[in-house]
A and B are shown apart, each in its own frame.
Chain A
Amino acid sequence: MRVDTRALLLAAPPLAFVLLFFAYPIATILLRGLAPQGVFDLGAVLEVLTRPFVLEVAWFTLWQAVVSTALTVLVALPGAYVFARFDFPGRRLLNAAALIPFVLPTVVVAAAFLALFGSRSPLGLRLEHTIWAILIAHVFYNYAVVLRIVGGVWAQLDPRLEDGARVLGATRWQAFRRVTLPLLRPAILSASSIVFLFTFTSFGVILILGGPQFATLEVEIYRQAAQLLDLRVAATLALVQLLGLAIVLLVYSRFQERGAIRTRPATARAVLRRPQTAGERAFVIANLILLAFLLGLPLIVLVERSLSIAGGYGLDYYAALFSADSNSALFVPPLEAVTNSLGFAAAATAISTVLGILAAQVIARGQGAVARAFDALLTLPLGTSAVMLGFGFLISLGTLPVDLRTSPLLIPIAHALVALPFVVRAVLPVMRAIDRRLHEAAAVLGASPARTWRQIDLPIVARAALIGAGFSFAVSLGEFGATLFIVRPDTPTMPIAIFRLLGQPGALAFGQAMAMATLLMLVVGAAIFAIDRVRVPSQGAL
Chain B
Amino acid sequence: MLKLSGVTVRFGTRAAVDGVDLEVRDGERLSVLGPSGSGKSTLLRAIAGLEPLAAGQILWDGRDLAELPVHRRGFGLMFQDYVLFPHLDVAGNVRFGLDGSGVARAQADARVAEVLELVGMRGFEHRLPAELSGGEQQRVALARALAPRPRLLMLDEPLGALDRSLRRSLLDELAHVFTGLGLPIVYVTHDHDEALAIGDRVAVMREGRLETVLPPRELWLRPPSEFVARFLGFTNIVDAEVTQGAAATNLGKFTLAEPAADGTYRLLIRPDAFRPQADGPIVGVVSSSIFRGDHTLLGVSVDPNTHAHIELEVQADWSPLPEVGERVRLAVDTSGVVLLPLT
- Chain A residues with CB under 8 Å of chain B are 435, 437-438, 440-449, 451, 455-456, 459-460, 537, 541-542
The stretch among B24-32, B79-87, B159-167 that forms the contact with chain A is B79-87
Please judge, given known A-B contacts A440-B50, A444-B77, whether A451 and B100 are in contact too, CB under 8 Å: yes
Cβ of A541 and Cβ of B130 under 8 Å apart? yes
A446-B100, A455-B96 known; A440-B70 Cβ under 8 A: yes
- B20 → A minimal CB distance (Å): 20
In angstroms, Cα B26 to Cα A255, docked, is 62
Is B75 interfacial (CB-CB < 8 Å)?
A: yes
Q: How far is the CB of B132 from chain A (nearest CB, A)?
A: 12
A445 and B86: CB pair below 8 A?
A: no
B45 to chain A, nearest CB (A): 8
Q: How far is the CA of A125 from the CA of B49 in the complex (A)?
A: 74
Q: How far is the CA of A537 from the CA of B130 in the complex (A)?
A: 11
Pairs of residues from A and B, 4 with the lowest C-beta to C-beta distance, nearest first: A445-B97, A443-B70, A444-B77, A441-B83
**Chain B residue with Cβ nearest A448:** B71
Q: Is the CB of B100 within 8 A of A447?
A: yes
Are A460 and B50 closer than 8 Å at their CB atoms? no
Residues of chain A within 8 A (CB-CB) of B75 are: 444
Which chain B residues numbered 85 to 133 have a C-beta less than 8 Å away from chain A?
A: 85-88, 96-97, 100-101, 130
Q: By the criterion CB–CB under 8 Å, are B71 and A443 in contact?
A: yes
- Taking a contact as CB atoms closer than 8 A, the residue among B85, B87, B148 that contacts A446 in the complex is B148
Contact B86 A444 (CB under 8 A): no
**Interface check B19, CB cutoff 8 A:** no
Is B144 interfacial (CB-CB < 8 Å)? yes
Contacts of B73 in A (CB 8 A): 444
The reply to whether the CB of B292 lies closer than 8 angstroms to some CB of chain A is no
Cβ–Cβ contact A446 & B74, under 8 A? yes
Cβ–Cβ < 8 Å partners of A444 in chain B: 48, 50, 70-71, 73, 75-77, 145
B326 CB to closest chain A CB (Å) equals: 50
Q: Is B72 an interface position by the 8 A CB rule?
A: yes
Structural contact, A542 and B100, CB atoms closer than 8 A: no
Q: Which B residues are CB-close (under 8 A) to A447?
A: 71, 96-97, 100
Q: A440-B50, A440-B70 are in contact. Are A446 and B97 (CB under 8 A)?
A: yes
Return the contact of B83 from the options A440, A448, A459 (Cβ within 8 A). A440
Instruction: Given A446-B97, A446-B100, A447-B96, decide whether A441 and B79 contact each other with a Cβ distance below 8 A.
Output: yes
Q: A443–B96 Cα gap in the complex (Å)?
A: 10
Which A residue sits closest to B94, measured CB to CB?
A: A445
User: A residues within 8 A CB of B100?
Assistant: 446-448, 451
B148 touches which of A435, A438, A445, A449 (Cβ 8 Å): A445
With contacts A443-B71, A446-B101, A447-B97 known, what are 11 further pairs, Cβ within 8 A?
A437-B79, A443-B70, A444-B76, A445-B96, A446-B74, A446-B100, A447-B71, A447-B100, A459-B87, A541-B130, A542-B86
The reply to whether B87 and A460 contact each other, CB–CB distance below 8 Å, is yes
Residue among A441, A443, A445 facing the most chain B CB atoms (10 A cut-off): A445
Report 7 cross-chain contacts, Cβ distance below 8 Å, ordered by A residue.
Answer: A438-B85, A440-B79, A441-B77, A444-B48, A444-B75, A445-B96, A460-B87
* Chain B residues within an 8 Å CB radius of A455: 96
| Complex CA–CA separation, A432 to B83 (angstroms) | 16
Q: List residues of chain B with CB within 8 A of the CB of A459.
A: 87-88
Contact B79 A541 (CB under 8 A): no
Nearest CB in chain A: distance from B178 CB, A: 18
Q: CB distance A438 to B96 under 8 Å?
A: no
- Count of B interface residues, CB-CB < 8 Å: 27
State the CA gap A449–B88 with chains docked (Å).
Answer: 18
Question: What is the minimal beta-carbon distance from A418 to any residue of chain B, in angstroms?
Answer: 30
* A459 and B85 alpha carbons, distance in the complex (Å): 10
Chain A residues within an 8 Å CB radius of B48: 440, 444
When distances are taken between beta carbons in the complex, the residues of chain A under 8 Å from B79 are 437, 440-441
- Residues 145-157 of B, flagged 1 when their CB comes within 8 A of A and 0 if not, give 1001000000000
Q: Which of A437, A440, A445, A460 contacts B144 (CB 8 A)?
A: A445
Tell me whether A441 and B71 are in contact (CB under 8 A): no
Residue-wise interface mask of B (28-50) relative to A, using a CB-CB cutoff of 8 A (1 in contact, 0 not): 00000000000000000100111
A216 to B79 Cα, complex, angstroms: 60
Distance (whole angstroms) from the CB of B195 to the closest CB of chain A: 22
Residues of A contacting B97 in the complex (Cβ-Cβ under 8 angstroms) = 445-447
User: In the complex where A443-B71, A446-B71 touch, is A435 in contact with B96 (Cβ < 8 A)?
Assistant: no
Secondary structure of the A contact surface, majority rule? helix
Q: Considering the complex, which residues of chain B in the window 228-259 have a beta carbon less than 8 Å from any beta carbon of chain A?
A: none
A443 to B75, CA, bound (A): 10
Contact present for B86 and A441 (CB under 8 Å): no
Q: Which residue of B lies closest to A459 (CB)?
A: B87
User: Nearest chain-B residue to A434 (Cβ)?
Assistant: B86
Most buried by A among B86, B130, B148: B86
Most buried by B among A446, A447, A449, A542: A446
In the bound complex, how far is the Cα of B145 from the Cα of A459, in angstroms? 21
Interface residues of B in 206-223 (CB under 8 A from A): none
Contact, CB under 8 Å: B83 / A437: yes
Please give, as numbers and ranges, the residues of chain B lying within 8 Å of A449 by CB-CB distance. 71
The residue from A442, A443, A537 contacting B86, defined by CB atoms under 8 A apart:
A537
Within the assembled complex, what's the spacing in Å between the Cα atoms of A437 and B83?
Answer: 7
B85 and A456 within 8 A (CB): yes
- B145: which A residues are within 8 A, CB to CB? 444-445
Instruction: Write the nearest CB–CB distance from B150 to chain A, whole angstroms.
Output: 9
Q: How far is the CA of A445 from the CA of B96 in the complex (A)?
A: 7
A445 to B49, CA, bound (A): 12
Q: How far is the CA of A455 from the CA of B86 in the complex (A)?
A: 12
Nearest-CB residue, chain B, relative to A455: B96
- Which B residues are in CB contact (< 8 Å) with A542? 86
**Minimum CB–CB distance for B203 against chain A, Å:** 21
Q: CB-CB < 8 A to A537: which residues of B? A: 86-87
Q: How far is the CA of A449 from the CA of B70 in the complex (A)?
A: 10
A453 vs chain B, min Cβ distance (A): 13
Residues of A within 8 A of B71 (CB): 442-449
Q: Which residues of B contact A541 (CB under 8 A)?
A: 86, 130
Residues of A within 8 A of B101 (CB): 446
Partner of A435, one of B72, B83, B88: B83
* Assembled-state Cα–Cα distance A451/B100 (Å): 9
The distance in angstroms between the C-alpha atoms of A446 and B96, with both chains bound, is: 9
Question: What separation, in Å, do the CA atoms of A183 and B79 have in the docked complex?
Answer: 43
The reply to whether B148 and A460 contact each other, CB–CB distance below 8 Å, is: no
- B129, closest chain A residue (CB): A541
The CA-CA distance from A451 to B86 in the complex, in Å, is 17
| Nearest chain A CB to B151 CB, angstrom units | 12
Q: Say whether A441 contacts B72, CB under 8 Å.
A: no
Given contacts A437-B79, A455-B96, contact A443 B85 (CB under 8 A): no
Within the complex, the shortest CB–CB distance from A429 to chain B, in Å, comes to 15
Expressed in whole angstroms, the minimum distance between the Cβ of B77 and any Cβ of chain A is: 4
Chain B: CB-nearest residue to A441: B83
Nearest neighbor of B69 in chain A, beta-carbon distance: A443
- B74 / chain A contacts, CB cutoff of 8 Å: 446
Give Cα A448 to B96, complex, Å: 12
Find chain B residues with CB under 8 A from A438 CB. Answer: 83, 85
Q: Which residue of A lies closest to B84 (CB)?
A: A441
Which B residue sits closest to A435, measured CB to CB?
A: B83
A456: B residues at CB distance < 8 A = 85, 87
Which residue among A437, A444, A537 has the maximum number of chain B CB atoms within 10 Å of its CB? A444
When C-beta atoms are compared, the residue in chain A nearest to B95 turns out to be A445
Chain A CB within 10 Å, residue with most, of B76, B100, B101: B100
Nearest B residue to A440, CB-CB: B50
- Please indicate the chain A residues that have their CB under 8 angstroms from the CB of B87 in the complex: 456, 459-460, 537
Give chain A residues whose Cβ lies under 8 Å from the Cβ of B144.
Answer: 445
Give the distance in Å from the alpha carbon of A444 to the alpha carbon of B44 in the complex.
12
